[in-house]
Amino acid sequence: MTGAHHLHELPRLNAGDMPSVWRLKHGDLPDFPPLAGTAETDVLVIGGGFTGLSCALELAVNGARPMLVEAGPIAWGASARNGGHACTGFAPGQAGLERALGREAARDLFDLAESGKRLIATLQRRHGFDVHYRPGYLTCAATPRHVRALEEDLTELERLGHGGCRLLEAEELHRNWLGTDAYHGALLDPHAGLLNPVDLCAGMARAAAGKGARIHAHTPALMLEEMNGGIAVRTPGGEITARRVVLAANAQNGALWPELAPYLIPVRACQVATTPLADILARTVIKADVAAVTDTRLPPAYFGLTPGRRLIFGAGASYLDRPPLHVTPGIHPHLKRTFPQLSDVPIDAAWCGVMAVTANRYPHCGRAGRSGDIWFAHGYSGQGVVLATLLGHLVARALLGDTERFELFAAIPHGPHPGGPLRAWLHAARMAWRMIRRQPD
């Protein structure tokens, strides 16, 4: 996309094939050749985002020589089309885990999820790349009654030993933290933050290839078939025979292996980015040293300033996995309501990414197929930056024989979304009803 448009003109930016703003400085992002001919491998990873690249990297570092295929360019899908929010814990909190697994196992899962942040820091240090992570995360109450929910979240985090968090009252939030009076308070988490997701994908891809992983972009997996002694995967340019396959395509995993489809609802989330803000204007938007913000709406609005002072702002979602014809008019009212001072600021990027949501909103992983040689991880429910990177790593560790942490995640009970073939429509209707019931006071 070229040129800039003004928000007050409601530019009709089509985000179908547009890159996220995270990719703008990545003209040299590694683009691997498509597969041509036949190939054999011990482990084939399908998906070139957080999950797949993390898995391939860990396997390669430990002497395996995995193959990875991606339908488009590396880091083109949701892993490079999200807000870059590195969140704490799980989207629905701990209560569901405690009911299903008990408090001790739920606590172990929280600690394991938090290790995903340390994993990203370790990968940067070990392989010499930078995701430009900045700490500081606000969850803002969209209504007065949502303040109580944030108080409960704080109590839960303190019980889990996640110290340093605190509540901000509305007056303090507006005076010292955010240049908006749209919120009624906030929960500050200094241990979550914002990173560049394309930098993370690019760093893992380069490191994995450098350690011997065979990576093929522009190579969609068209069909998987179990055979005696292996799995055949057909692509447009040839066929791969693998002893084990890792499904790491998140929302697309159900298309690759249909028995997984009932457990996933693809959700299309869209965002816009402003042109770089003048320093003085940027400081009227986010006033304090906080990197990323979300709120308690359904679906939430979320935003953050990049190191180049672009505001990335996301709002709304399509639960039917249908790309909107034009992104900016749908997001503009949310942005203008939150930050009226940006009404005349140009935007020059708009994009959508498809994530996957499970029925209980916890990640879903396990093994499929007659022999159990098809491994999968997906359904990060809006928190894929940390959780997908972690689950890819844990799948690789399990393939190498270290299964304990993978099995802890795999023990989370999951059921299919209700509604059968109409599950996406039913989910959309349920979300619309919840949105109506949770309108701001």
pLDDT tens-place string over residues 47-92: 999 999 999 999 999 999 999 999 999 988 889 899 999 999 999 9
For the residues 166-191, what does the mean pLDDT come to?
Answer: 97
Residue 16 or 238, more confident: 238
For the residues 106-132, what does the mean pLDDT come to?
Answer: 97
What pLDDT digit, counting tens, does each position of 411-438 carry? 999 999 876 665 654 555 555 545 445 5
Residue 77 or 197, more confident: 197
When the pLDDT of each residue in the chain is averaged and rounded to a whole number, the result is: 89
Task: Give residue 1's pLDDT.
Answer: 29
Residues 200 and 389: beta-carbon distance below 8 Å: yes
For the residues 126-130, what does the mean pLDDT come to?
Answer: 97
What pLDDT digit, counting tens, does each position of 338-366 carry? 999 999 998 888 888 889 999 999 999 99
Task: Give residue 12's pLDDT.
Answer: 38
What pLDDT digit, counting tens, does each position of 369-393 carry? 999 999 999 999 999 999 999 999 9
**Domains in the chain and their CATH numbers?**
5-437 (3.50.50.60)
What pLDDT digit, counting tens, does each position of 262-314 carry? 999 898 888 999 999 999 999 999 999 899 999 998 889 999 999 899 999 99
For the residues 181-199, what does the mean pLDDT come to?
Answer: 97
Percent of the chain with pLDDT over 70: 87
Any idea what the Cα angle at residue 132 is, between residues 269 and 47, rounded to 5°? 50
Task: Give residue 263's pLDDT.
Answer: 95
For the residues 179-194, what does the mean pLDDT come to?
Answer: 97
For the residues 89-118, what does the mean pLDDT come to?
Answer: 97
